[in-house]
Amino acid sequence: MRTPTMREVAALAGVSIKTVSRFVNGDETVSPAIAERVRAAIDETGYRRNDLARSLRPGQRSTTLALLVGDLTNPFYGSIANGVMGVARAHGHNVVLASSDEDPEAERRGIDDLLGQRVAGLLIVPGAMDYGYLGREVDQGTPVVFLDRPALGLDADTVLLDNHGGARKATEHLIAAGHRRIGVVVAASHHTTGRRLDGYLDAMRAAFGEVDEALVARLEHGTRAEAEQAAAELLALPPDRRPTALFTTTNFLTHGALRAMGPGQGTALVGFDDFPFADLLPTPVTVVSGDADEMGREATRLLLTRIAGQSGPPRRVELGTVLIPRGSGEQKP
Amino acid sequence: MRTPTMREVAALAGVSIKTVSRFVNGDETVSPAIAERVRAAIDETGYRRNDLARSLRPGQRSTTLALLVGDLTNPFYGSIANGVMGVARAHGHNVVLASSDEDPEAERRGIDDLLGQRVAGLLIVPGAMDYGYLGREVDQGTPVVFLDRPALGLDADTVLLDNHGGARKATEHLIAAGHRRIGVVVAASHHTTGRRLDGYLDAMRAAFGEVDEALVARLEHGTRAEAEQAAAELLALPPDRRPTALFTTTNFLTHGALRAMGPGQGTALVGFDDFPFADLLPTPVTVVSGDADEMGREATRLLLTRIAGQSGPPRRVELGTVLIPRGSGEQKP
DNA sequence: TTGTTTCAAAACAACGTTGTCTCAGCTCGC
DNA sequence: GCGAGCTGAGACAACGTTGTTTTGAAACAA
């Protein structure tokens, strides 16, 4: 059985297609007798309006927003998706999800697909590729909002965390606890973690002047395993060069570093990004954290105002971070 | 600026619409000179094929799969979504996401929306509502696959975990460690946790005969907070009635129970569902776990075979579970 | 040169819907 | 009794594509 069309319903009810359309869309100008016939025909055929055909009409835009996000297994991205979907649904929009954690070429193909489907707008957690070509789509009425990091090649609305400030806050917290030699574990390539590194460096320089490069562990990919090894190496330095505290710049890296420390967790640590069970670890973990859910919500709000037609220069929103002291960051050297 | 159409490109290039269509779709029968004119016109206008209009043509089905899933903040659902998207993308399908964690009416509205958009198939983590009305859509060519629990009112392809077997395995593991009084924390209403409770009861009965109802903590909603309180009450029972081990039936409940135990974690525990950091807790947590990612993948594979036209009776796939001993489940009474 | 073949490109119809226009029938007032 | 006014319902076109048919022109053989 195929999906029935309006034409078939109309034939069954013995009326014209347009009358079925009127009934389906709640037009008042359908007499009760005819309306009942149409209702019965719809019921019998299981007719359902085809919104694809509907949105083809002039001036119509799809109501679907597209979200390009990294690995959904990461609770950070899960929260973003959650926030996006909440606001979208509240405004009657659907959300298509695409993954951006692949190579740039696959990502570009994915975006092209979505544009071909005439989504109403794009929410993108940008990767390393150049997004300049999207400028034309923006001009043609498909707004774009970037989340978590600014995009290369396109100056559009962007929602970020205050990565620099948060990292600075984390580092100063460790300094206030009496630490001088504070190691940092950071993924080399990302903009976000770059800003976090800068925040760390600024705090360190403000307190002690020059920063010992040996304290900075730069990872290539930012995986848990890399972090574990890097942290282990930091902690294996001779006592005079060994850090007494660590600042880990993402939740994955925090996980890796904790693993390197083992159950004792003798070294002080502050992590960027909160994570579940942080409060249940042997030494509960102090973190600096932004609200990913709110990031998704705010980005969606921005996108919706653009879809509604608001023009104007790109906006950049920076969401604040909070430091949650739980124990690991308050340990003395 | 509006999105240009084929008509506009054709006008600019001085050819017919159809010729643009031929060029865009890689038809060989376009002479090089004309092809170049069309290419230039597309470039100048920023034309992009409208896949909505395209899929309106007879016999065309959208390439979009819909996924209805609960709270994406839960890593379990995040992994499912991850698996779904991986397989979908590998087969050239997009994924629309909708949330099912609301009231049944909102969920039904969401499903209706998706059907109106003529998605190629539905992947649903069912809630408490009756899905019978989807039978008609299935007949009309929109297949449905359920994940994680069977749906009320519709017998369709379903991918489940072996909840009964996993729970039994967990309970027997605790029994083997010497426990006799094993408490269980379970959400009352869900099918999934119901099966897990059955697995627990079967293991207990097989070992000891009748099960003391005082050992079974039934929660109304299955939240962390509820679990924390219920676990605290179990552990506060007088010594002769107090359980010496707990079996918690979801990761949220495990989290709550661990909180109730405090840092000591003196009571043995096995949880259903793995979770990050389980290995880093003071007493690393033994879990029974299924592969959510694989569940998403398998469900998507089933859906794709249906979309490809395979008929036949509903299939039910049960994925196995593994017990991961980490310490908490091996503690003696 | 003329008839035939070949092929690129145009014309047309259709997909399922809705906005606009038109028309038929009715009611009402004079 | 007849035109004006109204109202319910049908006809038609259009949205942006693509499959099919048709056209036109060039190429070639007789």
- Is any Cβ of chain A less than 8 angstroms from the Cβ of B276? yes
Task: Report yes or no: A81 at the B interface, CB cutoff 8 Å.
Answer: yes
Q: What angle do CA A287, A292, A296 make, to 5 degrees?
A: 170
Average pLDDT over residues A159-176: 97
What CA dihedral angle connects A52, A58, A60 and A62, to 10 degrees? 40
Q: Which of A265-274, B193-202, B293-302 has the lowest mean pLDDT?
A: A265-274
- Chain B, nearest residue to A118 by Cα: B50
The CATH homologous superfamily of the domain defined by B163-291+323-330: Response regulator (3.40.50.2300)
Closest chain B C-alpha to A293 CA, distance in angstroms:
9
pLDDT tens digits for B62-72?
A: 899 999 998 88
Supply the pLDDT for residue A2: 76
Q: What does pLDDT average to over chain A?
A: 92
Q: To which CATH superfamily is domain B64-160+292-318 assigned?
A: Response regulator (3.40.50.2300)
Give B330's DSSP letter: G
Question: What pLDDT, on a 0 to 100 scale, did the predictor assign at position B333?
Answer: 86
Q: Give the span between the Cα atoms of A251 and A262, in whole angstroms.
A: 17
Residues of A with Cβ-Cβ distance to B56 under 8 angstroms: 52-53, 56
| Average pLDDT value for residue range A153-165 | 97
CA B192 remoteness from chain centre: 12
Q: Do the beta carbons of residue A145 and residue B80 sit within 8 Å?
A: no
Confirm whether any atom of chain D, the nucleic acid strand, is less than 7 Å from CB of B16: no
Q: How many residues does chain A have?
A: 333
- Which residue carries 């954290």 as its tokens? A289
| CA B29 to C1' C3, whole Å | 26
pLDDT interval class at B303 (50, 70, 90)? very high
**Strand (E) or helix (H) holding B69:** strand B64-69
Q: Quick check: A262 pLDDT over 80?
A: no
**pLDDT tier at A264, thresholds 50, 70, 90:** low
Question: What is the average pLDDT across B265-270?
Answer: 86
Angle between helices A6-13 and A17-24 (to 10 degrees): 110
For residue A86, pLDDT over 80 is answered with: yes
| CATH 3.40.50.2300 residue ranges for chain B | 64-160+292-318, 163-291+323-330
The pLDDT assigned to B263 comes to 65
Task: Give dist(CA B316, CA B145) in Å, integer.
Answer: 10
Asked whether the beta carbons of B116 and B329 are under 8 A apart, the reply is: no
Q: Quick one: average pLDDT of A66-81?
A: 90
Nearest-by-CA chain B residue for A46: B136
CATH architecture of structural domain A163-290+323-330: 3-Layer(aba) Sandwich (3.40)
Non-local (6+) Cβ contacts of A12 within 8 A are A41, A44, A45
Q: pLDDT tens-digit profile of A106-118?
A: 889 889 999 999 9
Token readout for A323 is 């430091």
A206 touches strand C (CB under 7 A): no
Long-range contacts from A34-41, C-beta under 8 angstroms, 24+ separation = A37/A13, A38/A9, A38/A13, A40/A13, A41/A9, A41/A10, A41/A12, A41/A13
pLDDT value of residue A321: 97
Q: Which part of chain B is CATH 1.10.260.40? A: 6-49
B159: β partners: B147, B317
Which pair of structure tokens corresponds to residue A30? 């359908």
Token pair for B238: 């007088």
Per-residue CB contacts under 7 A with strand C, chain B residues 44-103 = 53, 56-58
For B274-286, the pLDDT digits (tens) are: 988 898 888 899 9
- Give the tens place of pLDDT for each residue, A282-328: 889 999 999 999 999 999 999 999 999 899 999 999 999 999 999 99
What is the share, in percent, of chain A residues with pLDDT greater than 90?
68
CB-proximal positions of chain C, under 7 Å: 7-12, 14-20
Contacts of A255 in chain B (CB under 8 A): 276-277, 280
The predicted model gives B206-226 an average pLDDT of 93
pLDDT of residue B170: 98
In B, residues 16-55, which contact A (CB 8 Å cutoff)? 46, 48-53, 55
Q: Which pLDDT band, with edges at 50, 70 and 90, does B99 fall under?
A: confident
pLDDT score recorded for residue A160: 96
Q: Start-end ranges of CATH 3.40.50.2300 in chain A? A: 64-161+292-318, 163-290+323-330
pLDDT band with cut points at 50, 70 and 90 for residue A265: low
Average pLDDT over residues A263-289: 88
Confidence of residue A281 (pLDDT cuts 50, 70, 90): confident
Chain A residue with minimum CA distance to B76: A73
> CATH class for domain B6-49?
mainly alpha
How far apart are alpha carbons A215 and A211 in whole angstroms? 8
pLDDT at A234 over 70: yes
Q: Does B282 contact A281 at a Cβ distance shorter than 8 Å?
A: yes
**Do B277 and A276 count as a contact with CB atoms less than 8 A apart?**
yes
A64-161+292-318: what CATH class? alpha beta
CA distance A17 to A98: 37
